[in-house]
């Protein structure tokens, strides 16, 4: 297949691109480089620009026989979305509508959407399936929820077919170290652990009064390479998955809940160094968390997570010197 990956110079998009190529597919990258890195492109065909630039989308479709689109172009920082909600609604919702209009006009009707498990309502047992109630708790999460509703409606009114992949918590890096977490000061928990470990600083567990087994938030930490493999499985199984219902959702997680304190303990074990840990209040927009117990991705797409959070930590540590050499920090 020839796959257009929007946001393909970012952390997730570049890893998905590598997984697609490893599986024998061709990729075309569209990125505005607001957070993506040119170093992750390699010799892939690149278009620099915005997903809402409909003339650019027309040109990409005219110059390439696009079989499917993987949409990884979104703002993703929860606290920032609380501070800048309009920016998130414009970027994540309005621009996606423009992209869909252009793709439909050009006859591109396979669309993989990077959604989020943050749209689920809190669950007293912290477990969810694709049928669980939805109640997004931040502007970021609401943008994902809104786009999902738009996509479902659009599949009923057009030839567009959509698979929404609800990511849980990607961590780690491409095991071959071709790309990885590119932000110098990212906000997710493993990045904070890595930064504290590197600098000999204190790691802050944000939120310790959640109703979990140890008070810290609980997450379904999925290795980013497993996540990338899920996209390959979705692309290869796309037509079968959408044969009857043109809009489908899949939870992409491991099925295991790990608390932030437990991840910090695993990090100490793998790194061999003790961490300085303190406890602080939760961040704006944070939730206790959930993890997936659904077999749908395995049953329909033949995909399941194979790598552990310990492997993700090892790969993330291995990425640090490569990132320093590649990106300068």
Half-sphere exposure of 280 (CA within 13 A, CB side): 11
Those residues with Cβ within 8 angstroms of residue 159's Cβ, 6 or more apart along the chain or in another chain: 104, 109
**What number of helices (H) and strands (E) belong to the chain?**
12, 15
Other beta carbons within 10 Å of 240: 10
Decide: residue 274, CB within 10 A, 0-12 exposed, 13-18 middle, 19+ buried: exposed
What pTM value is reported for the model? 0.96
DSSP assigned state of 120? B
Quick one: pLDDT at residue 188?
87
Q: What is the largest CA-CA distance in the chain?
A: 56
- Cβ 265 vs Cβ 271: under 8 Å: no
Active site amino acids? 140
**How far is the CA of 68 from the CAs of 7, 9, 65, in angstroms?**
14, 17, 9
Q: Of 82, 260, 91, which is closest to residue 169 (Cα–Cα)?
A: 260
Structure tokens at 191: 């990045």
CB atoms within 10 A of CB 30: 28
Quote the pLDDT of residue 10: 97
Q: Residue-wise pLDDT tens for the chain (329 aa)?
A: 999 999 999 999 999 999 999 999 999 999 999 999 999 999 999 999 999 999 999 999 999 999 999 999 999 999 999 999 999 999 999 999 999 999 999 999 999 999 999 999 999 999 999 999 999 999 999 999 999 999 999 999 999 999 999 999 999 999 999 999 998 888 889 999 999 999 999 999 999 999 999 999 999 999 999 999 999 999 999 999 999 999 999 999 999 999 999 999 999 999 999 999 999 999 888 889 999 999 999 999 999 999 999 999 999 999 999 999 999 99
The whole-angstrom separation of Cα 72 and Cα 280 is 31
pLDDT score, position 287:
87
Strand locations in the chain (E): 2-6, 26-31, 45-48, 68-71, 110-116, 127-128, 161-167, 169-171, 202-206, 218-219, 221-223, 247-252, 258-259, 276-280, 291-292
CA distances from 96 to 88, 99, 148, 256 (A): 11, 5, 11, 32
Q: Which residues contact 103 (CB under 8 A, 6 or more apart)?
A: 57, 61, 69, 109, 111, 160
Residue-level pLDDT at 187:
81
Question: Measuring CA to CA, how many Å separate 120 from each of 59, 133, 136, 234, 291?
Answer: 37, 6, 6, 21, 10
* Gap between the Cα atoms of 223 and 138, Å rounded: 24
Which residue in the block uniquely carries the two structure tokens 């669309």? 111
Residue 184: its pLDDT value, please?
A: 85
Q: Which residues contact 293 (CB under 8 A, 6 or more apart)?
A: 127, 128, 129, 255
Dihedrals phi, psi of 203, to nearest 5 degrees: -95, 130
Contacts of 136 (CB under 8 A, 6+ apart): 118, 119, 142, 144, 145
């Amino acid at each position: 297949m020839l796959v257009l990956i929007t946001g393909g110079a970012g952390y997730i998009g570049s890893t998905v691109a590598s997984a697609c190529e490893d599986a024998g597919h061709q990729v075309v990258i569209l990125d505005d480089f607001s957070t993506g890195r040119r170093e992750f492109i390699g010799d892939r065909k690149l278009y620099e620009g915005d997903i809402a630039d409909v003339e650019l989308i027309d040109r990409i479709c005219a110059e390439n026989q696009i079989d499917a689109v993987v949409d990884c172009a979104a703002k993703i920082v929860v606290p920032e979305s609380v501070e800048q909600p309009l920016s998130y609604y414009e970027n994540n919702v309005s621009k996606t509508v423009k992209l869909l209009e252009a793709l439909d006009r050009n006859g591109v009707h396979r669309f993989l959407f990077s959604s989020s498990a943050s749209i689920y309502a809190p669950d007293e047992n912290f477990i969810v399936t694709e049928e669980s109630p939805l109640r997004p708790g931040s502007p970021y999460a609401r943008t994902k929820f809104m786009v999902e509703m738009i996509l479902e409606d659009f599949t009923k009114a057009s030839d567009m077919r959509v698979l929404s992949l609800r990511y849980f918590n990607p961590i780690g890096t491409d095991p071959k170290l071709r790309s990885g977490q590119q932000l110098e000061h990212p906000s997710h928990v493993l990045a904070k652990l890595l930064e504290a470990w590197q600098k000999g600083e204190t790691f802050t567990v944000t939120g310790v009064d959640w109703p979990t087994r140890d008070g810290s938030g609980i997450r379904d930490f999925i290795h980013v390479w497993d996540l990338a493999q899920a996209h390959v499985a979705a692309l290869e199984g796309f037509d079968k998955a959408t044969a009857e219902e043109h809009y489908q959702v899949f939870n992409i997680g491991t099925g295991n809940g790990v608390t932030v304190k437990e991840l910090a303990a695993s990090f100490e074990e793998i790194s061999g160094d003790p961490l300085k840990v303190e406890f602080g209040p939760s961040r704006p927009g944070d939730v206790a968390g959930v993890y997936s117990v659904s077999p749908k991705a395995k049953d329909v797409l033949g995909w399941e997570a194979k790598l552990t959070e310990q492997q993700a930590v090892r790969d993330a540590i291995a990425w640090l010197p490569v990132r320093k050499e590649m990106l300068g920090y």
